[in-house]
Amino acid sequence: MSPTKLRHVPAISAWRRRFLVRVLGAVAVMQAPAVVLLASVLSEATRVPLAACAVASVALHLAAVSVLVHRLRWWIDDVRTPWWRTWILEVPYAVYASGCFLATPIAWTLLLGGAVLALVGHPLRSVTVGLGSLYALTWTLALWGSTVGRAWARVTRVEVPVVGLPAAFDGYRVAHVSDVHCGPYVPGWMFRRWATSVRGLDPDLIALTGDLITVGEGYLDDVTSFARSLNAPDGVIACMGNHDYYQTADGVVRALAQADVTLLRNRSVAVSRGGARLHFAGVDDRSSKLDDVDRALCEVPVGEPVVMLAHDPAGWPELVRRGVALTLSGHTHGGQFGLPIGPRMNLGRFASRFSAGLFRDGASALFVSRGIGTTGVPTRVGMAPEIALLVLRRA
């Protein structure tokens, strides 16, 4: 009988302490209007003084936030979380917190406006009704985004002109998947459904652009299972992402090797069609300073087109200068929250101008996937999970 693996409790370093303070501070700002709303509703329903109801509301919210504190405290998914903790505690809290986040600007406006009106003798009833209606809407959106919305991957089909593409590769189909983030929020039925969708696109090749796990080694079997369930005539290739190194040195490398995935760590491979070749290269994780563009491109003959897998799109300007025809990236998740009126109206714009979709600079193109999994809150609103089918065309 094998010994039970125990959870490793990560140390509270200075960095982690600052991180926790920032996160909990943001949570306090986002949830304060909901605290006021609950206190007002309790007071109206029970005729108990507002001050006492405010204390009860704060206590209930602190109890709910303990779910988040527990997740942040453990930090490492080095063993599997019981399903009930994820789906009965963590996902419901994510729905609540995401709804509060979506409501924050309008909620604070109503709250502050109500406070001003109260000073001149107007009742607060209208503020309570307004906040209640607002939260009913945002919590409904968050409920969708934490369940169906993040499980239902949308397929994006894009034709990409590639300068120098040989005629034999005109119409070549690349399925691009990024940021799977295997972990407690991605059960087997979910990633198997995604894999079925990818296979159904009948791609010539499948490209995985990093962040196959979230953190730790407890879900590496899921990485292997997901990758094994993918197949294409020219195989499956991948590059590493920043999360693939969080609390593991080579766990993802081992998981992909077991699935016979070609991992491109600062190297390239070539696909042949008759006498023509198309090169696929990959750079290692940029944030870990493991990327080496020179090594990745050293075996690509000058003048022959190359498709680069690079998890973080921040390095694209250098790849443009190096003449890379097409770069495939992820990392941003499209911010996970956005307006469904275009791929670039999303929170990812605060982190990168290459937040989602297709970009061009001269003869070079970049496609940034919205990703298929999540980090932080397991919620997507307006930025659905994405499987991209890129059809390469001669420019």
Same domain, 237 and 296: yes
Domain boundary residue, one of 146, 172, 191? 146
> What does the mean pLDDT of the chain come to?
92
* Eight-class DSSP state of 313: G
Q: Is the pLDDT of residue 277 over 80?
A: yes
Of the listed ranges 240-254, 284-298, 299-313, 328-342, the least confidently predicted one is 328-342
| Shared-domain flag, residues 169 and 104 | no
Q: Is residue 9 part of a domain?
A: no
Span 265-269, mean pLDDT? 98
Residue 107 confidence (pLDDT) above 50: yes
Is 167 found in the same domain as 302?
Answer: yes
CA distance 201 to 224: 21
What is residue 3's predicted lDDT score, i.e. its pLDDT? 45
String of b and e for 20-41 (b: at least 16 CB within 10 Å)? Answer: beeeeeebeebbbbbbbbbbbe
Per-residue pLDDT, 124:
67
- Of 61-70, 75-84, 118-127, the range with the lowest mean pLDDT is 118-127
Kindly state whether residue 6 falls inside one of the protein's structural domains. Answer: no
pLDDT tens for residues 35-60?
999 998 999 889 999 899 999 999 99
Percent of the chain residues past pLDDT 70, beyond the cut: 96
- Same-domain status, 93 and 163: no
Give mean pLDDT, residues 366-390: 96
CA dist 204 and 307 (Å) reads 14
Asked if residue 131 and residue 112 are part of one domain, the reply reads yes
The rounded distance, in Å, linking the Cα atoms of 75 and 175 is 32
**In this predicted model, what pLDDT tens digit does every residue of 221-240 receive, in sequence order?**
999 999 999 999 999 999 99
Please tell me the distance from the alpha carbon of residue 149 to that of residue 370, in angstroms, as a whole number: 13
Number of domains in the chain: 2
Q: 312 vs 81, which has greater pLDDT?
A: 312
In a domain, 4, yes or no: no
Whether the pLDDT of residue 1 is over 50: the answer is no
More confident residue, 76 or 67: 67
Q: Determine the structural domain holding residue 369 and report its residue range.
A: 155-394
Query: Tokens at residue 357, please?
Result: 């979709």
The answer to whether residues 74 and 56 belong to one domain is yes
The CATH number that applies at residue 165 is: 3.60.21.10
Residue pair 99/28 in contact by the 8 Å Cβ criterion: no
Report pLDDT for 56.
Answer: 96
